[in-house]
């Protein structure tokens, strides 16, 4: 019976703290803001909170993870994010033609 009990202890139990992930959002000037969100939360909530804290318009910045633009409906799970990963924020640039 003890072997069965050990196997049950080795089962991947999901603890409440395992459902959350710590992420940092880094701006171009090096400022970092830390967020703790659920792994299943759409990153739009994090992006909206960042813009609100910084007094920015959502359309004036882009959020990048591993060089790819973060979509509103993406989640930390869908992007295979780990604890303490960084999301970069850059100013949206328009124009470029004469």
In the block, residue with structure tokens 């910084």: 54
Higher pLDDT, 40 or 13: 40
Q: What angle do CA 12, 16, 21 make, to 5 degrees?
A: 95
In the block, residue with structure tokens 């100013």: 91
Rounded Cα distance between 5 and 3, Å, is 5
Where does the chain have alpha helices with state H?
2-10, 43-54
Answer whether residue 49 is part of any domain.
Answer: yes
DSSP string, 58-74: GGGEEEEETTEEPPTT-
Model confidence at 5: pLDDT above 50: no
Domain that holds residue 34: 16-91
Answer whether residue 10 is part of any domain.
Answer: no
User: CATH number, domain at 58?
Assistant: 3.10.20.90
What pLDDT was estimated at residue 58?
87
Encoding tokens for residue 18? 């395992």
pLDDT digits (tens, 9 = 90+) for 14-47: 455 579 999 999 998 889 999 999 999 999 999 9
In this prediction the pTM is 0.76
Model confidence at 7: pLDDT above 90: no
Q: pLDDT-based confidence at 9, cuts 50/70/90?
A: very low
């Amino acid at each position: 019976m003890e072997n069965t009990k050990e196997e049950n202890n080795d089962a991947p139990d999901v603890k409440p703290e395992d459902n959350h992930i710590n992420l940092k959002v880094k701006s171009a000037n090096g400022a970092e803001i830390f967020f703790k969100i659920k792994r299943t939360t759409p990153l739009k909530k994090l992006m909206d909170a960042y813009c609100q804290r910084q007094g920015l318009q959502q359309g004036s910045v882009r959020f990048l993870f591993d060089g790819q633009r973060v979509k509103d409906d993406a989640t930390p799970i869908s992007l295979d994010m780990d604890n303490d990963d960084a999301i970069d924020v850059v100013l949206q640039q328009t124009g470029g033609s004469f």
